Amino acid sequence: MERNNKRFRKREAILTCLRETKVHPSADWVYAQLKPKIPDLSLGTVYRNLALFKEQGLIISVGTVKGVERFDGNPDFHVHFICTECGCVQDLDWMPDLPGLTATAEKDSGSQISGCQLTFTGMCRECSQNQNKEEAV
Protein backbone atom coordinates (compact mmCIF):
# COMPACT_ATOMS: atom_id res chain seq x y z
CA MET A 1 0.00 0.00 0.00
CA GLU A 2 2.84 2.38 0.85
CA ARG A 3 4.37 1.86 -2.61
CA ASN A 4 1.10 2.79 -4.37
CA ASN A 5 0.74 5.85 -2.15
CA LYS A 6 4.28 6.99 -3.05
CA ARG A 7 3.54 6.45 -6.74
CA PHE A 8 0.35 8.50 -6.45
CA ARG A 9 2.18 11.34 -4.66
CA LYS A 10 4.82 11.45 -7.39
CA ARG A 11 2.19 11.37 -10.11
CA GLU A 12 0.25 14.18 -8.44
CA ALA A 13 3.43 16.26 -7.97
CA ILE A 14 4.32 15.90 -11.67
CA LEU A 15 0.85 16.96 -12.80
CA THR A 16 0.76 19.87 -10.34
CA CYS A 17 4.19 21.03 -11.53
CA LEU A 18 2.94 21.11 -15.13
CA ARG A 19 -0.27 22.92 -14.26
CA GLU A 20 1.46 25.58 -12.17
CA THR A 21 3.93 26.77 -14.80
CA LYS A 22 3.64 28.70 -18.04
CA VAL A 23 7.08 27.71 -19.38
CA HIS A 24 5.85 24.68 -21.36
CA PRO A 25 8.51 22.46 -19.81
CA SER A 26 10.43 19.42 -20.94
CA ALA A 27 10.53 16.22 -18.89
CA ASP A 28 14.04 17.20 -17.76
CA TRP A 29 12.76 20.55 -16.47
CA VAL A 30 9.95 18.87 -14.51
CA TYR A 31 12.45 16.39 -13.08
CA ALA A 32 14.85 19.18 -12.04
CA GLN A 33 12.03 21.07 -10.32
CA LEU A 34 10.78 18.06 -8.35
CA LYS A 35 13.98 16.12 -7.55
CA PRO A 36 14.94 18.31 -4.54
CA LYS A 37 11.48 17.74 -3.02
CA ILE A 38 11.21 14.06 -4.02
CA PRO A 39 14.71 12.56 -3.75
CA ASP A 40 13.68 9.09 -4.98
CA LEU A 41 12.07 10.48 -8.15
CA SER A 42 13.58 9.13 -11.37
CA LEU A 43 13.57 10.70 -14.81
CA GLY A 44 11.94 7.50 -16.09
CA THR A 45 9.03 8.06 -13.69
CA VAL A 46 8.58 11.57 -15.06
CA TYR A 47 8.58 10.32 -18.67
CA ARG A 48 6.14 7.48 -17.92
CA ASN A 49 3.73 9.81 -16.15
CA LEU A 50 3.90 12.45 -18.88
CA ALA A 51 3.01 9.75 -21.42
CA LEU A 52 0.13 8.60 -19.20
CA PHE A 53 -1.16 12.16 -18.74
CA LYS A 54 -1.03 12.76 -22.51
CA GLU A 55 -2.92 9.53 -23.14
CA GLN A 56 -5.55 10.54 -20.57
CA GLY A 57 -5.90 14.02 -22.10
CA LEU A 58 -4.76 15.76 -18.91
CA ILE A 59 -1.86 17.51 -20.67
CA ILE A 60 -0.77 18.08 -24.25
CA SER A 61 2.52 17.91 -26.06
CA VAL A 62 3.31 21.25 -27.64
CA GLY A 63 5.75 19.46 -29.92
CA THR A 64 9.46 19.05 -30.26
CA VAL A 65 11.36 22.29 -29.83
CA LYS A 66 15.09 22.18 -30.62
CA GLY A 67 15.01 18.39 -30.29
CA VAL A 68 13.17 18.26 -26.94
CA GLU A 69 9.49 17.47 -26.42
CA ARG A 70 7.69 20.22 -24.52
CA PHE A 71 4.44 19.91 -22.57
CA ASP A 72 1.52 22.06 -21.50
CA GLY A 73 -0.55 21.42 -18.39
CA ASN A 74 -3.52 23.16 -19.99
CA PRO A 75 -5.22 20.69 -22.36
CA ASP A 76 -7.95 23.14 -23.37
CA PHE A 77 -7.79 24.65 -26.87
CA HIS A 78 -5.42 27.57 -27.06
CA VAL A 79 -2.84 28.81 -29.53
CA HIS A 80 0.93 28.64 -29.09
CA PHE A 81 3.87 30.58 -30.47
CA ILE A 82 7.29 28.91 -30.66
CA CYS A 83 10.42 30.99 -31.24
CA THR A 84 12.68 29.35 -33.79
CA GLU A 85 15.70 31.16 -32.32
CA CYS A 86 15.57 30.69 -28.54
CA GLY A 87 12.94 27.94 -28.33
CA CYS A 88 10.58 29.76 -25.98
CA VAL A 89 6.96 28.63 -26.10
CA GLN A 90 4.24 31.14 -25.37
CA ASP A 91 0.48 30.92 -25.00
CA LEU A 92 -1.39 33.29 -27.28
CA ASP A 93 -4.40 33.63 -25.01
CA TRP A 94 -5.84 36.52 -26.98
CA MET A 95 -6.40 34.31 -30.04
CA PRO A 96 -10.06 33.39 -30.46
CA ASP A 97 -11.28 29.82 -30.53
CA LEU A 98 -11.87 29.06 -34.17
CA PRO A 99 -15.08 26.98 -34.33
CA GLY A 100 -15.46 27.79 -38.01
CA LEU A 101 -12.06 26.24 -38.70
CA THR A 102 -13.09 22.95 -37.08
CA ALA A 103 -16.39 22.90 -38.95
CA THR A 104 -14.62 23.54 -42.25
CA ALA A 105 -12.06 20.81 -41.55
CA GLU A 106 -14.84 18.34 -40.73
CA LYS A 107 -16.75 19.24 -43.87
CA ASP A 108 -13.72 19.09 -46.15
CA SER A 109 -12.33 15.85 -44.72
CA GLY A 110 -15.61 14.07 -43.98
CA SER A 111 -14.13 13.34 -40.56
CA GLN A 112 -15.23 14.05 -37.03
CA ILE A 113 -12.66 16.42 -35.50
CA SER A 114 -12.04 15.93 -31.77
CA GLY A 115 -9.18 18.35 -31.27
CA CYS A 116 -6.94 20.93 -32.84
CA GLN A 117 -3.56 22.42 -32.06
CA LEU A 118 -2.59 25.68 -33.68
CA THR A 119 1.03 26.80 -33.40
CA PHE A 120 2.69 29.85 -34.88
CA THR A 121 6.46 29.85 -35.32
CA GLY A 122 8.88 32.67 -35.86
CA MET A 123 11.14 34.95 -33.89
CA CYS A 124 9.97 36.21 -30.50
CA ARG A 125 10.09 39.90 -29.60
CA GLU A 126 13.27 39.54 -27.52
CA CYS A 127 15.20 37.62 -30.20
CA SER A 128 13.99 40.04 -32.86
CA GLN A 129 15.14 43.04 -30.81
CA ASN A 130 18.52 41.38 -30.17
CA GLN A 131 18.93 40.70 -33.89
CA ASN A 132 18.08 44.33 -34.73
CA LYS A 133 20.69 45.53 -32.20
CA GLU A 134 23.33 43.24 -33.73
CA GLU A 135 22.50 44.45 -37.23
CA ALA A 136 22.76 48.09 -36.13
CA VAL A 137 26.33 47.56 -34.86
Q: pLDDT: is 7 or 8 the higher one?
A: 8
Q: What is the pLDDT of residues 23-76, one digit of tens each?
A: 999 999 999 999 999 999 999 999 999 999 999 999 999 999 999 999 999 998
The Cα–Cα gap between 4 and 42 comes to 16
Query: For 78-129, how does the pLDDT look when each residue is reduced to its tens digit (9 = 90+)?
Result: 899 999 999 999 999 877 766 678 888 899 999 998 878 889 999 999 999 9
The percent of residues above 90 in pLDDT, for the chain, comes to 71
Q: Report d(CA 64, CA 118) in Å as an integer.
A: 14
The number of helix segments (H) and strand segments (E) in the chain equals: 5, 5
In which band, very low, low, confident or very high, does the pLDDT at 17 lie, cut at 50, 70 and 90?
Answer: very high
In which band, very low, low, confident or very high, does the pLDDT at 77 lie, cut at 50, 70 and 90? confident
Task: State which H helix or E strand residue 61 sits in.
Answer: strand 60-65
Please state, rounded to an integer, the average pLDDT across all residues of the chain: 90
Tell me the pTM.
Answer: 0.83
pLDDT cut 70: percent of the chain above it: 93
Q: How many residues can be counted in the chain?
A: 137
